[in-house]
Amino acid sequence: MTTTRNVGFGCALLGALACGGTAAGAAEQITFVSQGGAYQQAQTVAILDPSAKKLGITINQDSIPDAWPAIKTQVGSGKPIWDVVDTPTGNCLRGGEQGLMEKLDFSKIPNGAAMPEAYRSPYSVSYEFYSSVLAYSQKTFPKDAPNSWADFWDVKKFPGRRALRNHPFATLEAALMADGVAPDKLYPLDVDRAFKKLEEIRPHITVWWTSGAQSAQLLNDGEVDMEMAWNGRVSAVAKEGAKVSFTYNQGILQSTSLCILKGAPNLATAVKFINEAVDPVHQANLPLHIDYGPGNPKAFETNVIKPERAAQLPSEPSNAAKQALMSYAWWSSPAGEAAEKRWASFMQK
C-alpha cells in the first residue's frame, strides 16, 4: 500500500520556502518515491533535504516497498503522478525497454555522466549500493571461517546449517562462483550450470529466506551457521551484539537507481534533482546515516567518509574489486526473465 508522507520529513517535504529557498524556486517541485523505513529517513537527511535547499525546490515524498506495479499503472494511465523513483536498477532498465521511463540526457546530468559506465544506463543512474555476501556465525567458526562460495558449498570442511535467499538474483551468481567461475566472467549466466550446482547444496539448506529481516533473525538467533545475506542486515545485528561476521570476497554488488517515469509531470525539475542527488558530497553523506554505499564512487574522494567507515561499505573501491557487479541488463533480458521463471519451478520440486 502506498503511503503519502505529508509530515515528518523536514525540509524536503516542507519545501524550499520553509527551509530558506526563494519564492521563484518554490514553484518547482517533484514527487520522489523510495522504499520507506530507515532507508528513506536516512536519504532524506543525507540527500533529499540538502538537494531541495540547494535547488530551491519542493520534494514531495512517497514510499512503497515495490514500485514496479505502480509504475506500470501510472504510466499506463497516461497521467503519472510520480516523477523520480528510487528502485532496484532492473526496474529502471525494464521500464526503459517497455516505454515506461524517460531516457536520460546526461548532458544535463554531469554528476551522473562522470560516473563509471557500468553504474548508469540510458534510463538510470546508480543511487546506492548494497551487497549479497557470505555471512557466518563466529561462534561456529571462531577461526578459519568460510571465505568463498566454494567454502559455502563445502559441507565437509565447513559443516553446519545453511540458508540462501529464495530468489534467483545473486543466488545463481553465487552458485557459479562456487563452481569456479570468476566474478568478472559471470555474464551471460550459464543458467543450466548454476541450477546444477544449486542441486548439490539444496539438501543442506535449512531455510530459503524471503526477507532481509528473516535473514538477520536467522543469524541473530543462531538458527543457521552461514548464509547469503545483505551486508547491512549482518552489520546491524553485529552492532546489537550478535557474534556474526561476513566477507565481501565474492559478494554480489547490487544497486538501486534513480529513474524518471515516462510523462513525469515535472520532467525538467526531475532531471535537475537527479544530478543533485548523485553529487559526490550528498552521496558521501548517506553512509553516515545507514550502512549503504554511495552510488557515485567520487563520494570516497570527498573526505566526508572517514577511512574506517569507508572500509565497511560495499562500494568502497577495494571492497567493490573483490565482488561481482550484478548485471541488471542481463537479468532484464529474455534469458534473465526465463531464469526467474525457472527459479519458481526449482523451488517447487
Q: Are 110 and 92 found together in one domain?
A: yes
Q: Are 111 and 247 found together in one domain?
A: no
Distance CA 74, CA 77 (A): 5
**DSSP states along 267-324:** HHHHHHHHHHHT-HHHHHHGGGTSS-EESSGGGGGSS-S-HHHHTTSTTSHHHHTTSE
6 belongs to a structural domain:
no
User: Which domain does 174 fall in, by range?
Assistant: 131-253+329-348
Closest CA to 90 of 169, 183, 36, 166: 169
**Count of CA atoms in the C-beta half-sphere (13 A) of 19:** 22
| Cα end-to-end span (Å), the chain | 32
Which residue is listed with cell 535473514?
Answer: 215
Q: Are 217 and 343 found together in one domain?
A: yes
Closest CA to 252 of 164, 195, 314: 314
Position 161: which residue type? R
Per-residue model confidence (pLDDT) at position 6: 35
**Mean pLDDT (10-residue bins), the chain, 349 residues:** 36 38 62 91 96 97 94 96 96 95 98 96 96 97 96 98 97 98 97 98 96 91 96 90 96 97 98 98 96 95 96 95 96 94 93
| Three cell numbers written together for 42 | 536516512
Per-residue model confidence (pLDDT) at position 38: 82
1 belongs to a structural domain:
no
The model's pTM is: 0.86
Per-residue model confidence (pLDDT) at position 4: 39
Per-residue model confidence (pLDDT) at position 215: 92
Using only the alpha carbons of the chain, give its radius of gyration. Answer: 21
| Three cell numbers written together for 237 | 545485528
Residue-wise pLDDT for 294-338, tens only, equals 999 999 999 999 999 999 999 999 999 999 999 999 999 999 999
Please give the backbone phi and psi of residue 49, each rounded to the nearest 5 degrees, phi first.
-60, -50
Per-residue model confidence (pLDDT) at position 152: 98
Per-residue model confidence (pLDDT) at position 10: 37
Question: How many domains does one find in the chain?
Answer: 2
Contact between residue 220 and residue 242 where contact means Cβ atoms under 8 Å apart: yes
Q: Are 148 and 213 found together in one domain?
A: yes
13 belongs to a structural domain:
no
CA dihedral angle for residue 251, residue 253, residue 254, residue 255, rounded to 10 degrees: 150
The angle that helices 89-97 and 68-77 make with each other, rounded to 10 degrees, is 30
Q: Are 119 and 182 found together in one domain?
A: no
Q: Are 341 and 231 found together in one domain?
A: yes
Q: Are 33 and 101 found together in one domain?
A: yes
Distance CA 249, CA 110 (A): 32
136 belongs to a structural domain:
yes
Distance CA 176, CA 149 (A): 9
Please give the backbone phi and psi of residue 244, each rounded to the nearest 5 degrees, phi first.
-135, 160
185 belongs to a structural domain:
yes
22 belongs to a structural domain:
no
Per-residue model confidence (pLDDT) at position 132: 97
Residue 109's domain is classified under what CATH number? 3.40.190.10
Distance CA 312, CA 307 (A): 9
Residue-wise pLDDT for 92-107, tens only, equals 999 999 999 999 999 9
CA geometry: angle 135, 140, 146, nearest 5 deg: 45
3 belongs to a structural domain:
no
Q: Are 245 and 338 found together in one domain?
A: yes
Identify the three-state secondary structure at position 338. Answer: helix
Q: Are 109 and 34 found together in one domain?
A: yes
Q: Are 207 and 80 found together in one domain?
A: no
Q: Are 48 and 194 found together in one domain?
A: no
Per-residue model confidence (pLDDT) at position 307: 95
Q: What is the enclosing helix (H) or strand (E) of 80?
A: none
Q: Are 283 and 338 found together in one domain?
A: no
Contact between residue 14 and residue 44 where contact means Cβ atoms under 8 Å apart: no
52 belongs to a structural domain:
yes
